[in-house]
Chain A
């Protein structure tokens, strides 16, 4: 990748503006697309992010030197025009638009198109010459159902367990997916409990003004049998740990785009899988890329080889770039 942006050992680099976007090694100036740990890493001298990313970044990275911007607000860095645009992935998630001497590049970070909810601003396409896209679900088997039918299934699952006095344990990443679930389920079915990692994130987001249904943190005080008929949201890393004992009797489900594939459902060994993702599906990726009007497409983490070949066939100048994104971002917070 050469031009306005290029790849260095530390991450995506803009030479004209002398800044990095989502770098994976310490640098002086880092622009951050969103607060997930694989994009927002520790050790940068100065951070720039959408202001709604900042509370979670501070929560996870501690005292950092960070400034916030609004969507569409133009920032000038060493003569390079930079702005953030909604990516529809999680709260504060942004595509970063970089303009210099009439050339426009957009780094999309992670994104999701289509329906959204109040936990995250919907994706907005941005015209550009070169577009850097993820390809987590860049295969034609990934097609998301509507939120309505997804949450109808989830509510039905929870209700039927609640009727049998069982708990419904749902594994979802604590930042992003957990809030999507909270915004989508019907809280009148029963009480909602959360794992500490999820509740810590909820607290940060509530303080920042996000409206979520009432949730109760599960603590040492809760003994097996205390909780009945509840929905319990926990990060995937809690699966199969002794922490689960106090939730008995329960059944488990995983909320993830991967649940589309039967083999993956079986590998994860949960009772049920809900196809819920904060990434774009196949149609979403294709649509988003077409809308940018870009000719050059750089495909990063995911099925990058297959997806870039597909884009080339569609007439784009598409190629694969290696990044260090897309690693399971929640393993680290298993015991928090």
Chain B
């Protein structure tokens, strides 16, 4: 455990990839296989079920620190990370521990079903045995979410360096449904295992964004162009008489989308399709808002199936007749995909249409209408290239629509947390409805650190009222808010909800009364909602 905490602190205290890779490799060299496997599992978001509720952790931490729960909660809000807040408020360690990472995790698994008092005893005793770093990592084992700047790409690189294996082979091996309880380091990483896990997905190929310099990409004939559909990127696997559905976040979501069980009859065994899961009324795609009603829900009701039916818009084929076809050129995979979709003749399996245009200019005007097709823009794929792993430049580009924008007035500010714990950086914006300002969105990002510092100073000097961590401010500053989508909402006072709102820029040239109105927003809702 101590060694693992050291690794985390090493990874955390450098911004350089080479140093991170070296630290990981050193860890792999020094620790036993079982600890390596757990390290890989944790860094690929495979943690055991949460053994203790976080509400209990908060109570116990406040008790141990001798502070009131409100003070703990306010502090947590500012730090922004529960594991870290606990690690920092607790008094210094009074004891020591020499448990390994694996042992610590096994102990945590063992108390999962235990009585609350037993959990409390175990957690508090562990806190007393660990220093600040150790506690932070221990708490992370409970709460999950190790975000320490090690991408799966870098983890794979370090492993490849340590084992002498190919990066792409390893990337594929690390995918799928394994946990350290179902496999060993030897089995997962070192052995050739062609008939292993039937559910194992392929690593997704991800595109970088391209802006208006598309003409620099060469002849348009070299590219296959499709819409960039606005849903959930997914991979549907039909293998060994079963269907598996994976989201891009490497989450197995088969049960959430029972519609795809129809592929059992329509798609041959040994097929893996990459596509977009979207809601579709049989005629045309529905808005992302409809799909949102299904995301995050475990049980799928009959009503949902009727009102928000999903289909797969296929982009690509990765496995055909049980063979990995990722190395075939895009155009050939496309032909295979077309034949599979055609033979399936399944209303749940659509194909993303290829868009043929004579010039980039012509394509640009087609792209401008994407929002009306419920598409986010275009995907450009080089016709003669294979399917790669992860985010790579060169052969796949996303050419997204420009966001919608509206000018709004800053009316509330809240102190940020984590990176911005001492600044007012979380803002609420309003538009005019007659003489009144109606709040309609929050936004936290899009300004430079310098701009945040200036707005922070404005907030502190122009506070009207304080409500806990929130301050209402003189309605003076105007910001251009950019967003990807808009829909009606009964939960918001303004009656609308935005998708991905952020500050596109600070309109220092505008006064508050020059901001947009609620009617302007409603007009956008009619057009694009």
Contact = CB atoms under 8 A, between A and B. Distances in A.
Contacts of B417: 263
A49 B70 CA distance: 40
Interface stretch (B80-88, B102-110, B345-353, B489-497): B80-88
A262 B89 contact: no
B463 A322 contact: yes
Q: How large is the interface on B (under 10, 10 to 19, 20 to 34, 35 or more residues)?
A: 35 or more
Interface in A248-269: 258, 260-267, 269
B211 interface: no
B84 A140 contact: no
Which of A139, A140, A264, A322 is most buried by chain B, counting CB atoms within 10 A of its CB? A140
Given A141-B88, A262-B12, A267-B419, A310 B461 contact: no
Contacts of B70: 309
Given A266-B419, A310-B71, A324 B84 contact: no
Given A140-B75, A141-B89, A261 B457 contact: no
Interface string A131-144: 00000000111010
Which of A263, A265, A322 is most buried by chain B, counting CB atoms within 10 A of its CB? A263
B418 interface: yes
Interface string B427-462: 000000000000000000000010001000100110
B93 interface: no
Contacts of A267: 419-420, 449
Nearest to A271: B14
For the complex of A and B, the 8 pairs showing the least CB-CB separation, nearest first, are A263-B418, A141-B88, A267-B419, A263-B419, A140-B89, A306-B74, A139-B75, A140-B67
A298 interface: no
A208 interface: no
A309 B457 CA distance: 23
Contacts of A151: none
Given A140-B89, A263-B421, A264-B421, A269 B68 contact: no
Contact of B457 (A263, A310, A327): A327
B409 interface: no
Given A269-B15, A271-B14, A140 B463 contact: no
A310 B417 CA distance: 20
Contacts of B65: 140
Contact of B88 (A260, A273, A322): A260
A273 B16 CA distance: 15
Given A261-B79, A262-B84, A140 B71 contact: yes
A143 B88 CA distance: 8
A305 interface: yes
Contact of A141 (B75, B460, B463): B75
Interface string B402-420: 0000000000000001111
A235 to B, nearest CB: 16
A322 B460 CA distance: 8
Nearest to A324: B461
Interface string A61-78: 000000000000000000
A303 interface: yes
B468 interface: yes
A136 to B, nearest CB: 9
A214 interface: no
Interface string A320-331: 001010011000
A165 interface: no
A309 B69 CA distance: 13
Nearest to A331: B453
B12 A261 contact: no
A242 B336 CA distance: 54
8 contacts: A139-B74, A140-B67, A261-B84, A265-B13, A269-B15, A271-B15, A272-B13, A310-B68
A313 interface: yes
B466 interface: yes
Contacts of B460: 322
Contacts of B15: 269, 271
Given A260-B88, A271-B13, A271-B14, 9 more contacts: A140-B67, A258-B421, A266-B419, A272-B14, A303-B78, A305-B469, A306-B74, A310-B68, A327-B457
A139 B457 CA distance: 21
A268 B84 CA distance: 18
B78 A305 contact: no
A261 B71 contact: no
A305 B67 CA distance: 16
A143 B65 CA distance: 12
A260 B15 CA distance: 17
A269 B14 CA distance: 9
A224 to B, nearest CB: 19
A313 B70 CA distance: 11
Given A271-B15, A324-B461, A306 B71 contact: yes
Interface in B450-484: 453, 457, 460-461, 463, 466, 468-469
B420 A263 contact: yes
Given A139-B78, A328-B453, A313 B419 contact: no
Contacts of B468: 305
B356 interface: no
A261 B421 contact: yes
Nearest to B460: A322
Nearest to B416: A263
Nearest to A323: B460
B384 interface: no
B422 interface: yes
A44 B84 CA distance: 45
Interface in A215-234: none
A258 B88 CA distance: 13
Contacts of B453: 328
Nearest to A320: B466
Contacts of A140: 65, 67, 71-72, 75, 88-89
A198 B95 CA distance: 42
Nearest to B76: A141
Given A140-B67, A141-B85, A324-B461, A264 B422 contact: yes
A170 B75 CA distance: 28
Interface in A264-299: 264-267, 269, 271-273
Contacts of A328: 453
A69 B156 CA distance: 65
